[in-house]
Amino acid sequence: MHAPAQGPIPGDLLLLAYRNGIFPMADARDDPDVFWVEPRRRAIIPLDEFHCSRSLRKVLRRGAFTVTIDRAFEEVLQACAAPRPDHEGTWINRRIEESFCTLHREGHAHSLECWRGGELVGGLYGLAVDRAFCGESMFSRADDASKVALAWLVALMRRAGFALLDCQFMTPHLASLGAVEISQQRYCALLDEARGEPRMSLAEAYDSLLEEAGPSSSPGKVIAQSFTQTS
């Protein structure tokens, strides 16, 4: 169902929709309208079943990228919405972009950024709803950058006490990282189980991770080790 073109989607309406397993999309970047989606099948990544390959653990340990949280939300969103060689178009129109930037300013939407030499080369963004994180999109301009961002997200969610990582639609790339497909009914049940506040925010989990790594190690090594223990 299409919604008529207008200003940003109200934040309380977006949060209510996500709490009920519904999210907005658009037909194209310049399409002023949005429509609401409730898929029959949902992709999620069980937090204890994220597949961190040996090669990805090496990239994490090596610290190939500097990873930050909420430092460049709008840049990440715009990069996710930009044309790509392997995609015909984007579902992120200006209205969705503006709506999520508002949610970010209100502390609900978050981004993870991967930097190399001061250049933004990868990242992801999504919406934190109770103890669930609804991943919206990711991008990569360097090998493994989006995988590193996702590995960091999973590690931060586990540390913060989150329970559900929603990936919306299954892709071969997500399947290779441990995503599984479930029914919408099962997804909504998991959403209900994820109600309530996490132990800490994702930003607090990020600070906790850096503190644990300390000067003698690196956060990437701590993350790689945590996946070694659960793989």
A 10 A CB-CB count for 67 gives: 26
Dihedral Cα 99, 100, 104, 106, nearest 10 deg: 30
Q: How many residues does the chain have?
A: 231
Q: Considering only CA atoms, which of 106, 117, 108 is closest in space to residue 141?
A: 117
Q: Are 42 and 187 in contact (CB under 8 A)?
A: yes
Q: Considering only CA atoms, which of 94, 83, 78, 74 is closest in space to residue 5?
A: 94
Q: Considering only CA atoms, which of 160, 164, 102 is closest in space to residue 129?
A: 164
pLDDT at 5: 54
Q: Where are the domains of the chain?
A: 2-230
pLDDT at 230: 60
Q: What distance in Å separates the CA atoms of residue 177 and residue 158, rounded to the nearest whole number?
A: 16
Q: What distance in Å separates the CA atoms of residue 18 and residue 100, rounded to the nearest whole number?
A: 13
Residues 6+ apart with CB under 8 A from 217: none
Q: Are 61 and 224 in contact (CB under 8 A)?
A: yes
Q: What distance in Å separates the CA atoms of residue 46 and residue 83, rounded to the nearest whole number?
A: 30
The ranges of the chain with pLDDT < 50 are none
Amino acid occupying residue 8: P
* Beta strands 109-116; 119-129: pairing state: antiparallel
Backbone φ, ψ for residue 193 (5° rounding): -70, -20
pLDDT at 229: 67
The tally of CA atoms less than 13 A away on the side-chain side of residue 32 is 4
Convert the pLDDT of each residue in 76-114 to its tens digit: 999 999 987 666 678 899 999 999 999 999 999 999 999
2-230: CATH number: 3.40.630.70
